[in-house]
A and B are shown apart, each in its own frame.
Chain A
Amino acid sequence: MHWFANPARFVRLADKILPVAFPMTLVLMGAGLYLALFASPADYQQGDSVRIMYIHVPSAYLALFAYMVMAASGFSTLVWRHPLADVAGKAAAPIGLCFTGLALATGSIWGKPMWGTWWEWDARLTSMLVLFFLYLGYIALWGAFEDRSKAARAAAILALIGVINIPIIKFSVDWWTTLHQPASLFRMGGPTIDPSMRPPLYVMLAAFQFYFITIWLWRIKAELASVRINALRLQLIRVKRDAS
């Protein structure tokens, strides 16, 4: 962990990972989409709309995974003051927000033919909606500070409050929907997913995971570069002022 805290060393490592992760994303995404859209059977009840699952489930997975990355980064920001951890958390947040949005959108599109409505206050959709707001709060808090290191630590505290809260929110929403909605028409995926649907789902999950790694590393590198550019600009201004 501490070994990665040096930004220059991290960028060197990222430059080794990216040439693998980026092509892996393309290959797996291509293969996964082929398997999901053409080579897998339609569901006997849901027909072709079951194929939304191959986007929906990996999106929901990344939505949670990105939050865990944010919380882990927040923890290292607060405990070890890693300069890189701030950047890692900040870089993960918009990706998580996008995939939470994507999980909500695909869930809604899937819900229309299955439930007959665009939105159902189903436990999972509702938890995702709350997660969406948690991401918004994190990003808004980052933007609200002028001082970068203070923003990083405030956001880290919020990410940790959030991560302890997610199980409580999840539990309360489950409890709430079992009270209000005794029989759901349809349970998403669940343990009884047909074996023929598993390979495309696993390939898509791997593709999304590599996509996350690629984008996340890119964003970290870009953020480190922008910090560096700002520092250089300040230096330039100082040099010019001293010269005049």
Chain B
Amino acid sequence: MLTAFLALIKRDIHLGYAQGGAAGLVIAFYAVTVTLFPFAVGPDAESLAPIAGGVLWIAALLSALLSLDRLFQADFEDGALEALTSGPLPLGLMALAKAIAHWLSMLLPLIVLSPLFAQLLHLDGKATWVLVFALLCGTPALSLIGAAASALTVAMRRGGALVALLVLPLYIPTLIFGVGAVEAVSGAGSVSANLSLLAGVSLIFAVMGPLAAAGALKLALE
């Protein structure tokens, strides 16, 4: 079962970077979104640095969202999802594998690049490191919640806007704690408390997300 689990993760990562995959596009989207903010609020460090944490988190949220509606859809349309159900993996673990693959291929590159973008927005050194840790602790929740919403809308041809409506309110706690961690470096609050809460939210959804996704996929495959 572990072999099948790892094989599915590997397959999805490969597909993300293969011809027609979205991983490169998501990175570009993240970069462009971050670039828009200096035009909107002004290029000087005084206006950019205080909002840098928020901007990078919002960009990560939107980038995660952008790649979500196709998480199960391509496999659903070409029948691969149905074929996978005859394998050794239960639906819940399959959803978990796909969420992990989504995180590794779409979000991990953004986290690796985030110190660079933090510099563009004049975030200081210590806050940058906190941001990276916060993204590492918090973004798994984005993939896991997203997997549930993506599974709920898998059979819809235009599920994208609906996924956004379903998912974004549920992302609010992650956003609050994520930005809270970065702001705690220079202001009120505790960095470690925020990081723990981020990891807590991710862990809750590591259980709930795949469970909900399994229920939704069962529905779609009927």
Contact = CB atoms under 8 A, between A and B. Distances in A.
Interface string A90-105: 0000000000000000
Interface residues of B, number: 31
Contact of B204 (A168, A172, A176): A168
B152 A158 contact: yes
Contacts of A161: 145, 148, 170, 208, 212
Given A144-B153, A168-B204, A176-B176, A154 B166 contact: no
Do most interface residues of chain A lie in helix, strand or loop, or is the interface mixed?
helix
A141 interface: yes
B165 A137 contact: yes
A211 B105 CA distance: 51
A78 B201 CA distance: 24
A228 B219 CA distance: 24
A175 interface: yes
Contacts of A150: 219-220, 222
A138 B163 CA distance: 11
A154 B216 contact: yes
Contacts of B152: 141, 154, 157-158
A172 B166 contact: no
Interface string A160-172: 1110110011011
Given A136-B165, A168-B201, A179-B188, A157 B212 contact: yes
A154 B219 contact: yes
A124 interface: no
Range class of the A interface residue count:
20 to 34
Contacts of B145: 161
A78 B215 contact: yes
Interface centre among B168, B172, B212, B216 (most CB of A within 10 A): B172
A219 interface: no
B162 interface: yes
A206 interface: no
A62 B165 CA distance: 23
Contacts of A154: 152, 216, 219
Interface in B150-181: 152-153, 155-156, 159, 162, 165-166, 168-170, 172-173, 176-177, 180
A60 interface: no
B189 interface: yes
A162 to B, nearest CB: 8
Nearest to B173: A172
A140 B212 contact: no
Nearest to B166: A137
Interface of B: 145, 148, 152-153, 155-156, 159, 162, 165-166, 168-170, 172-173, 176-177, 180, 183, 188-189, 197, 201, 204, 208, 212, 215-216, 219-220, 222
23 contacts: A78-B215, A130-B169, A133-B169, A137-B166, A137-B169, A141-B152, A144-B153, A144-B159, A150-B219, A150-B220, A153-B215, A154-B216, A161-B145, A161-B148, A161-B170, A161-B212, A164-B208, A168-B173, A168-B204, A169-B170, A169-B172, A169-B173, A175-B180
The list of the 6 closest CB pairs from A to B, nearest first, reads A172-B173, A133-B169, A172-B176, A137-B166, A176-B176, A137-B165
